[in-house]
């Protein structure tokens, strides 16, 4: 099973000429990811990321629903049997 996580673009990195990269916030942490599949992404926009690549753009409502679902699954897994 693959897991893609929603994150919000913080800034576009322009220091790597041929590889579009961005700093993306995932909850409490930020990670540099490749924007090759979403090359026109802009700060403030939401993307869904998988293995270090932004693979699609999301609207904010969809991103927040996805985050809530991930949090619910995490709580479910943390409950004792």
Domain boundaries, the chain: 5-78
Q: Hey, which residues does 53 pair with through a beta bridge?
A: 34, 50
- Cα separation of 14 and 27, whole Å? 23
Give the pLDDT score at 33. Answer: 96
* Residue for token pair 């700060």: 43
CB atoms closer than 10 angstroms to residue 76: 8
pLDDT tens digits along 18-76: 889 999 999 899 999 999 999 999 999 999 999 999 999 999 999 889 888 878 877 77
Q: Which residue has the higher pLDDT, 79 or 49?
A: 49
Q: Which residue has the higher pLDDT, 10 or 1?
A: 10
**Predicted structure pTM score:** 0.82
Give the pLDDT score at 61. Answer: 92
Fold of 5-78: SH3 type barrels. (2.30.30)
Nearest of 51, 5, 13, 12 to residue 29 by alpha carbon: 5
The answer for 61, left when phi > 0, alpha when psi is -120 to 50, beta otherwise, is: alpha
- Cα separation of 50 and 56, whole Å? 10
């Amino acid at each position: 099973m693959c897991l893609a996580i929603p994150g919000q673009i913080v800034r576009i990195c322009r220091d790597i000429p041929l590889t579009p990269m961005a700093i993306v916030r995932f909850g409490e942490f930020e990670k540099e990811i490749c924007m090759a599949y979403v090359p026109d992404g802009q700060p403030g926009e939401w993307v869904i990321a998988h293995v270090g690549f932004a693979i699609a753009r999301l609207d904010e409502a969809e991103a927040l629903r996805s985050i809530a679902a991930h949090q619910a699954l995490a709580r479910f897994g943390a409950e004792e049997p």
